[in-house]
Amino acid sequence: MDDINIDINCDVGEGVGNEELLFPLISSCNIACGGHSGDKDSMLGMVQLAKKHQVKIGAHPSYPDIKNFGRAEMDIAPEVLQASIAEQIHSLVTILENEQVELHHIKAHGALYNMVAVDLELAKTFLKTIERYKSTVFLYVPYGSEIEKEAFYQGFRIKREAFGDRNYNTDLSLVSRTKPNALIEDPKAVLKHIVSMVRNEEVVTVTGSTIRIFGDTFCVHGDTPAALQILTYLSEQLPNQNIYLKK
């Protein structure tokens, strides 16, 4: 087997407090910047950890909805959403400038991430908001999504994202967190899931069907209860598959 280097990203700064242990095991991070979680102190802490462990830094903007942790769809005016997203990203960028670190990517959070994947007009609104970062920053997007296609058409720099700790439906949407099989928490199952996506560019859905998927980056959520066990197991076992973390 040929060697493959992959990026593993993790959502951080969301109040879990496990990041000190997670950062040595990942290569990029998505920092909550106030929409669903996070404040100046948590962002600064995450940036400093990322610097220490040479982890690429991304902004993780959300619907402005701390109450629902950004995981509920919102009926919100486009201009209000744009102002919130812009402010969230700016708050992190200000810290990055003070710490002399560059913003590597932007990744929407939760319901916003899921909605821009299927709603073209919302995807256009999101892209318009982050247009100033178009030539310098990557955008993490789901494979085969509306935002992937529109961002590519508009000339954004994109990285397609797949999820190591989440189950997929046959349309490549993520199984809803309201369902008991949404998360994959067994480290061995996560390993199998990721190896299939990396090596075969395929994912086995909850119905048992096999669907094509491609990922430039693979996410393990920092608030998944078994996140540390999963990432530790991946760091130990992926090299046995000739798959290595790309720092």
CA 89 from centroid of its chain's CA atoms? 15
In this prediction, residue 84 carries a pLDDT of 98
In this prediction, residue 1 carries a pLDDT of 81
pTM of the model: 0.97
In this prediction, residue 187 carries a pLDDT of 98
The answer to whether the CB of 127 falls within 8 A of the CB of 147 is yes
pLDDT in tens, 61-103: 999 999 999 999 999 999 999 999 999 999 999 999 999 999 9
Integer distance in angstroms from the first to the last C-alpha of the chain? 21
- pLDDT cut 90: percent of the chain above it: 99
Task: Please list the residues that pair with 160 across neighbouring strands.
Answer: 141
Across residues 33-37, what is the average pLDDT? Answer: 98
Q: For residue 247, is pLDDT > 90?
A: no
pLDDT in tens, 172-200: 999 999 999 999 999 999 999 999 999 99
pLDDT in tens, 20-29: 999 999 999 9
Contacts of 199 by beta carbon, 8 Å cutoff, 6+ apart: 1, 4, 241, 243
CA distances from residue 65 to 39, 85, 204, 229 in whole angstroms, order as listed: 14, 12, 32, 29
